[in-house]
Amino acid sequence: MSIYGVGTDLLNVTRIHEAYAARGERFAQRILGDEELVIFRRRFERHRERGLLFLATRFAAKEALSKAIGLGMHSPMSWRVAQFVNAPSGKPTVLLSEPLKLWCESKRLSFHVSMTDERDMVCAFVVAEIK
C-alpha cells in the first residue's frame, strides 16, 4: 500500500457559528449528508454548541479529504458526497456516495481520518491510501 495524498484543515469555529447564524439549517443541509444531518440535529437539540462543533469538524474533514484526493471542492468531490460517521468503536470513517465513490474506487483509495475539537478550533486530518 502507498499514500495517494494527505490533507489537513484547521478551522476557527466562529466561522461556523457565523454561517449558521446567517443561514440556519440550510447551511447544515448544504454541508452535511443525510446520516450526518441526523446526528447533527440530535446533538444540536440537546446542546447547541455540541451540534455546531459536530458541524465544524465535518466541514474541516471534508476540506481535508478534498485536499488528500487532490480535487479541492471540484467534481466529483462535493460537500454531501462524503460523510464522516463513527464506527461502533468510535473511530471516524468515510462514507462515500456517487459520483465520488466510483472515482475513489477506480483509484483503489481507502482513508484514515482523525478529527479533534476544542471550544474555538477544530482540526481534521485525512490520509488517502492506495489499497
Cα 96 versus chain centre, distance: 11
Which amino acid, 53? L
103: which 3 cell numbers?
A: 472515482
Check the annotation: does 9 bind a ligand. yes
Distance separating alpha carbons of residues 25 and 86, to the nearest angstrom:
22
Pick out the residues of the known binding site for Mg(2+): 9, 63
Pick out the residues of the known binding site: 9, 63
